[in-house]
Structure 1
Amino acid sequence: MHGAEEAAKPAGLPEEFRVRILAVTASFNTPQDAARLTEASVEAERLDQELTDRYGPRHPHTINIRELRGWLALVKGQPGDAARWYLHTTGLQTILYGPDHANTQGSVRRAIHAWQQVNDSAEVVQIGGNLAKAAAAVLGEGSDAARFIQARLSRRQQS
């Protein structure tokens, strides 16, 4: 997602969801406001459950709210959680659209971006194993991204 407006404009999304999603994304404008971000996290979780109940786990609306939850985790300074959300959505996007689709590739790139911000070695390795598989499947085993992940994993596993 490129902005709050895009996050809230999926075709056919009922207005009540769009308004609530915009309220969640508005919290990104004040990342220093921990209470507001916590409220946004609770609302995003509710939205995720409601969208999943209404549309199912593999519907674009559901995937989009989970992408939003990844973005929210990153804003909150939780890059490991963000990377996990983006890995999750990469899997869903792969099932829905295939590995060559822009949405799928965007999800895996966001996962890589978030993972780069993880500092705990154990978490780097834990997330990195799944990320390496996803990047190879979506971007190609010989891609720069896949090679970067493998190199970072090797360095962390040796230390």
Structure 2
Amino acid sequence: MPGTVLLLAASPVGKGRLVDAASVLPVLAAVAPAVLSGTDTANVVELADPLEPQAVLTRLRAAAAAPGPLTVYVTGQLQLDRRQRLPHLALARTTAATARYTAFPWHWFREELRLRPAGATTLLLDLHADAETWELLRSTPLDSGRGNAVHGRIAPPPSRRTIAQPAYMKAVATILRSGSRPPAEQLHQQALTRIAPESAGTDLVLSTPGPAVGDPHAAITAAVQSGRHTEADALAARHEQIAVTTHGPASEEALHWAEVRADLAMFAGDAVRSCRTWLMIATARLNAGQAPDAPAVEAAVDRAHHQWGQVRDTAPARELGAALAALRGRVPGRREGALDHVQRQLRQLQTPAGTGTRLSDGAAFTRPM
């Protein structure tokens, strides 16, 4: 099966630039697509110093939806937004004051890649962090999602008035230009060896292999791909119960498996169950003290909203819509007008024409941002 490769190099224009990220693209572009991917054939998408987060999201979403292996090469710099202090990949227009609106939130990588089959995604990262982000990442690991192989390095900020070079990614590209494609972990180690003299042991090394043999996510993926949705949900339910018993119902372990079950309901075409589960997850996170604008809370409400748009029968649509409207009052999310959309749909469901089978207005709220 053909592979997909996404080459993303981004850094701000002007004095905020820490690394010349785009300088690596000509070296990567000289590598054959099949070698970049590690498959017989591959499609390559290149993004050089993109201006808008939405442009990156669109390309990432398309790459994530492609069948077959996906390899994402990311070169750039990380900054924190001032409101939530979450890592963002700085884009061409990003400044310290505008990161929340002009940079690409790193957790969007996790969100967009989460539905891919376990073990089918590899990220190779060469990142530089500004001073604030560096201090955060020394104690809080960069989260690129479960089930993905992640290799690379995060370098500290360079000295003042110095623009760093993406040495790790250039080493990766140089190795691949030989025409051979070692396994990702071996490629990573070879690249680290090449840059060791200049990094002097100061980098944060990223090395997370894909899921191990026996990982339940792989078994669930296989069941879904062969249409055994009931079996997949039963397996996830068993792991959810173990997590609840071991860690508690509001633990990240338990909520993770609840999220898996919400996605499984979507794959099985059960929008009612999926929406109801996402509403429960959002409420549990809020009740546990998570902020209304926390990424996991916003994502849960956005997904509930999206699944609600797929519910065709009016009775469950009214019930779930009322609960969603209450949550939207607390969690408006990043998409403007989300609460108005729910309220407008609920009014239509109360009219005589809104009885029986519901016509979806999904175009107004198609997918979470």
Q: Same fold (TM over 0.5)?
A: yes
Tell me what 2:253 maps to: 61
Distance in 2 between residues matched to 1:44 and 1:124, nearest whole Å: 26
| TM-fit CA distance, 1:114 | 0.6
3-state SS of the aligned residue for 1:46? helix
Determine the structure 2 residue equivalent to 1:21.
217
Aligned partners of 1:136 and 1:143 also within 8 Å:
no
Higher fraction of helix = 1
**Cross-structure match for 1:114:** 307
Q: Secondary structure of 1:72's match? A: helix
1:27 is aligned with what amino acid? A
Report the 3-state secondary structure (helix = DSSP H, G, I; strand = E; otherwise coil) of the residue aligned with 1:139: coil
The alpha-carbon deviation at position 21 of structure 1 amounts to: 2.6
Are the equivalent residues in 1 in contact too, given 2:293–2:331 (CA < 8 A)? yes
Alignment of 1:2-17 (within 5 A): 2-3=114-115, 4-5=117-118, 6-8=145-147
Aligned twin of 1:12: none
Match 2:324 to one of 131, 136, 139? 131
Instruction: Go from structure 1 to structure 2 and tell me whether the alpha carbon gap of 1:94 and 1:26 turns closer, same or farther (over 3 Å shift).
Output: farther
Unaligned runs of 5+ in 2: 1-110, 119-144, 149-210, 353-369
1:132–1:44 distance in 2 versus 1, CA, 3 Å? same
Bigger relative contact order, structure 1 or 2 (CA pairs below 8 A, ≥6 apart): 1
Deviation at 1:78, TM superposition (A): 0.5
Q: Quick one: which of 243, 247, 256 aligns to 1:51?
A: 243
1:95 alignment counterpart: 287
CA offset digits 1:24-45 (Å, max 9, x no partner):
1333434xx2xx1111111111
What is the CA RMSD across the aligned residues, in angstroms? 2.2
TM-score (norm 2): 0.38
CA distance in 1, matches of 2:311, 2:298: 20
Structure 1 stretches lacking a partner, 5+ long? 10-14
Q: Return the TM-score normalized by structure 1.
A: 0.84
- Deviation, 1:92, is 1.5
Asked if 1:82 corresponds to 2:82, the answer is no
Larger radius of gyration: 2
C-alpha distance in structure 2 between counterparts of 1:111 and 1:7, whole Å: 21
Matched to 1:85, the amino acid is T
| Kept after mapping to 1: 8 A contact 2:263/2:274 | yes
Structure 1, residues 44-91: CA drift from partner, whole Å, max 9, x if none?
111111110011001111111101111101111100000000000001
Percent of counterpart pairs with the same letter? 26
**How many residue pairs end up in the alignment?**
148
Quote the Cα distance in structure 1 between the aligned partners of 2:313 and 2:247: 36
Query: How far does the alpha carbon of each residue in 1:72-117 deviate from its partner, in whole angstroms, 9 at most, with x for none?
Result: 0111110000000000000112233221100000000000011100
1:7 Cα deviation from its structure 2 partner: 4.5
Q: Which amino acid aligns with 1:57?
A: P
Which residue matches 1:148? Answer: 341
The answer to which structure has the higher strand fraction is 2
Q: Is the 8 A contact 2:224 2:232 kept in 1?
A: no
